[in-house]
Chains A and B, each alone.
Chain A
Amino acid sequence: MRNIIAICKRELLSFFVSPIAYFVITGFTLLVGFFFFNYFSLFLRMYQMSAYLSMRGMPLPNLNQTIIEGVYQTMIVILVFLVPLLTMRIVAEDKRRGTFELLLTSPVSVFEIVMGKFLSLAVIIFAMLSISFIFPLLLIVYGAPEVPPILSGFVGVLLCTLGFASIGMAVSSFTENQIVAGVSSMVTLLLLYVIQAPAESLDGTVADVLRYLSPVDQVQDFVRGVVTLKATVYFVSMITLGLFLSQRALDALRWR
Chain B
Amino acid sequence: MIEVKNLCKSYGDYKAVIDVSFSAAKGDIVGFLGPNGAGKTTTIRMLSTYLPPTSGTATVAGYDVIAQADEVRRRIGYLPENPPLYGEMTVREYLKFVGEIKGVARAQLASRIDEVLERCFIKDVRNKLCQHLSRGYRQRVGLAQAIIHHPQVIILDEPTSGLDPRQIIEIRQLIKSLGQDHTVLLSTHILPEVSMVCNKVVIISRGRVVMESRLSDLTRDKSLEQVFLESVSHDEVVDAAACVNQGA
Contact = CB atoms under 8 A, between A and B. Distances in A.
B163 interface: no
Contact of B88 (A9, A14, A109): A14
Interface string B40-82: 0000010011111000000000000000001001101010101
A17 B93 CA distance: 13
A103 B101 contact: yes
Interface string A93-106: 00001111111111
A255 B87 CA distance: 27
A98 B84 contact: yes
B103 interface: yes
A3 B104 CA distance: 11
Contact of B101 (A7, A14, A17): A7
A97 B80 CA distance: 12
B98 interface: yes
B101 A108 contact: yes
B100 interface: yes
Size band of the B side of the interface? Answer: 20 to 34
A59 B216 CA distance: 97
Interface residues of A, number: 25
Nearest to B51: A256
Given A105-B73, A106-B102, A99 B86 contact: yes
Contact of B145 (A7, A10, A102, A104): A102
Contacts of A98: 80, 82, 84
A138 B88 CA distance: 38
Interface in A127-143: none
Given A13-B89, A256-B51, A101 B101 contact: no
A201 interface: no
A2 B100 contact: yes
A204 interface: no
A42 B82 CA distance: 58
B101 A3 contact: yes
B70 A107 contact: yes
A3 B73 contact: no
Contacts of B244: none
A13 B92 CA distance: 13
B85 interface: yes
A102 B100 CA distance: 13
A97 B81 CA distance: 12
A205 interface: no
A99 B50 contact: no
A105 B93 CA distance: 19
A12 B243 CA distance: 44
A3 B103 CA distance: 8
A1 to B, nearest CB: 12
A10 B50 contact: no
Contacts of B101: 3, 6-7, 103, 106-108
Interface of A: 2-3, 6-7, 9-10, 13-14, 17-18, 97-109, 255-256
8 contacts: A3-B101, A6-B97, A14-B88, A14-B89, A99-B84, A102-B98, A105-B48, A106-B73
Given A13-B93, A106-B73, 14 more contacts: A3-B100, A6-B100, A14-B86, A14-B88, A97-B85, A97-B86, A99-B84, A101-B78, A101-B80, A102-B84, A105-B73, A107-B73, A107-B101, A256-B51
Interface of B: 45, 48-52, 70, 73-74, 76, 78, 80, 82, 84-89, 93, 97-98, 100-103, 145
10 residue pairs, one from A and one from B, having the closest CB atoms = A102-B84, A6-B100, A107-B73, A99-B84, A17-B88, A107-B74, A105-B48, A101-B80, A106-B101, A98-B82
